[in-house]
């Protein structure tokens, strides 16, 4: 079993929760970050991706690297500069690590990386499995470059495992907070025609799947990280409203309005991605939350 885990993207929701779970299980955890950390149980190593600078001691004693670094997809409008930043934060970062592995003796055997269901783009009602063709928009192109960069680790003899993450539902942040905000104010409504599929997943299952990947060293390749029962945007909006005891009385927000305000970034909420969970379930992973109602009950209890 791996004993020393190095995490990138240490300040994110997933990394912080995964760090605590690993510590609770007796693992040694290190972080790669742009700034010093404040967890006395975790050693933080500093890197600067833009300057191609990395603390070469970050891989000392490390068995597994979990690569979660990446600029927020929906944090800022997609200018050409922002698009480049989004891609580089994912691609240049893992290549910086691989360059270090090439030039220093180490015991790293596995790299587990995030990707996203944005790989598939807008695919209507098609059930998307890991072998489905990629899309051709910005998000798909970003994921293709991201995964290609991570897969370069195979040339170094590493076990490479990639999770294409859907829409993570978590308390106190992330996508759910943004979706719930207008509903809480009484002005929520489905987006576009509301028929687009949302590949949701509960935060605990995201953390659980990374743990599953760390502990099952025979697992490699690409897996969708989405719950077994996807829902439409309309169904998700209605379910959140029910949990918050709010009514939905406004008409759907037209797609052209979202495109006007969000530009190309509107594809995040208007795209339809019906991702299959069959492959990861067949690998032995057991979801805690398979239905949206149970997941939201847990989050809002």
Residue 232 near residue 270, CB atoms below 8 Å:
no
Region label for 129, one of left (φ > 0), alpha (ψ between -120 and 50) or beta (otherwise): beta
Backbone angles phi, psi at 88, to 5 degrees: -60, -35
Does 2 score more than 70 pLDDT?
no
CATH of the domain at 76: 3.40.50.720
- For a pLDDT cut of 90, what percent of the chain falls above it? 82
Encode pLDDT of 224-239 as tens digits: 999 999 999 999 999 9
C-alpha to C-alpha distance for 94 and 92, rounded to whole angstroms: 6
Question: What is the pLDDT averaged over residues 244-261?
Answer: 89
Question: What is the pLDDT averaged over residues 208-216?
Answer: 97
Does 278 score more than 90 pLDDT?
yes
**Coil, strand or helix at 47:** strand
Residue 195 lies in a domain: no
Q: What is the pLDDT of residue 59?
A: 97
Residue 15 lies in a domain: yes
Read off the pLDDT band of 276 (50, 70, 90).
very high
- For a pLDDT cut of 70, what percent of the chain falls above it? 99
Read off the pLDDT band of 266 (50, 70, 90).
confident
213-233 as b/e: b if 16+ CB within 10 A? bbeeeebbebbbbbbeebbbb
Residue 131 lies in a domain: yes
Does 265 score more than 90 pLDDT?
no
Does 258 score more than 90 pLDDT?
no
The most confident of the ranges 72-86, 154-168, 248-262 is: 154-168
Domain count, the chain: 1
Q: What is the pLDDT of residue 173?
A: 75
pTM above 0.75, yes or no: yes
Residue 207 lies in a domain: yes
Question: What is the pLDDT averaged over residues 23-28?
Answer: 96
Residue 188 near residue 237, CB atoms below 8 Å:
yes
Question: What is the pLDDT averaged over residues 96-123?
Answer: 96
Host domain of residue 73: 4-168+200-226+277-288
Encode pLDDT of 33-72 as tens digits: 998 888 899 999 999 999 999 999 999 999 999 999 999 8
Residue 247 lies in a domain: no
Mean per-residue pLDDT of the chain: 94
Residue 259 lies in a domain: no
In order of 33, 115, 157, 175, the CA distances from 167 in angstroms are: 24, 12, 32, 7
Residue 234 lies in a domain: no
Does 1 score more than 70 pLDDT?
no
Residue 173 lies in a domain: no
Does 113 score more than 80 pLDDT?
yes
């Amino acid at each position: 079993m791996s004993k020393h885990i190095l995490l990138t993207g240490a300040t994110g929701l997933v990394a912080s929760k995964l760090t605590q779970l690993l510590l609770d299980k007796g693992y040694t955890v290190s972080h790669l970050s742009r700034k010093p950390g404040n967890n006395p149980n975790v050693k933080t190593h500093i890197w600067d991706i833009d300057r191609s600078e990395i603390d070469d001691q970050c891989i000392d004693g490390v068995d597994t690297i979990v690569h979660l670094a990446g600029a927020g997809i929906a944090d800022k409008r997609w200018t050409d500069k922002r698009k480049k930043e989004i891609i580089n934060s994912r691609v240049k970062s893992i290549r910086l690590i691989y360059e270090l592995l090439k030039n220093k003796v180490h015991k790293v055997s596995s790299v587990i990386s995030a990707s996203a269901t944005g790989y598939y783009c807008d695919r209507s009602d098609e059930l998307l499995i890991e072998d489905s063709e990629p899309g051709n928009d910005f998000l798909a192109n970003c994921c293709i470059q991201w995964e290609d960069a991570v897969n370069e680790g195979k040339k170094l003899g590493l076990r490479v495992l990639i999770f294409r993450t859907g829409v993570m539902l978590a308390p106190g942040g992330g996508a759910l907070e943004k979706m719930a905000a207008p509903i809480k104010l009484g002005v929520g409504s489905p987006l576009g025609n509301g028929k687009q599929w949302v590949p949701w997943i509960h935060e605990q299952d995201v953390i659980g799947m990374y743990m599953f990947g760390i502990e099952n060293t025979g697992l490699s390749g690409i897996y969708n990280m989405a719950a077994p029962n996807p829902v439409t945007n309309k169904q998700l909006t209605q379910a959140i409203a029910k949990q918050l005891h709010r009514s939905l009385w406004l008409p759907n927000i037209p797609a052209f309005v979202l495109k006007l305000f969000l530009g190309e970034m509107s594809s995040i909420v208007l795209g339809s991605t019906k991702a299959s969970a069959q492959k990861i379930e067949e690998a032995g992973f057991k979801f805690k939350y398979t239905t949206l109602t149970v997941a939201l009950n847990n989050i809002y209890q």
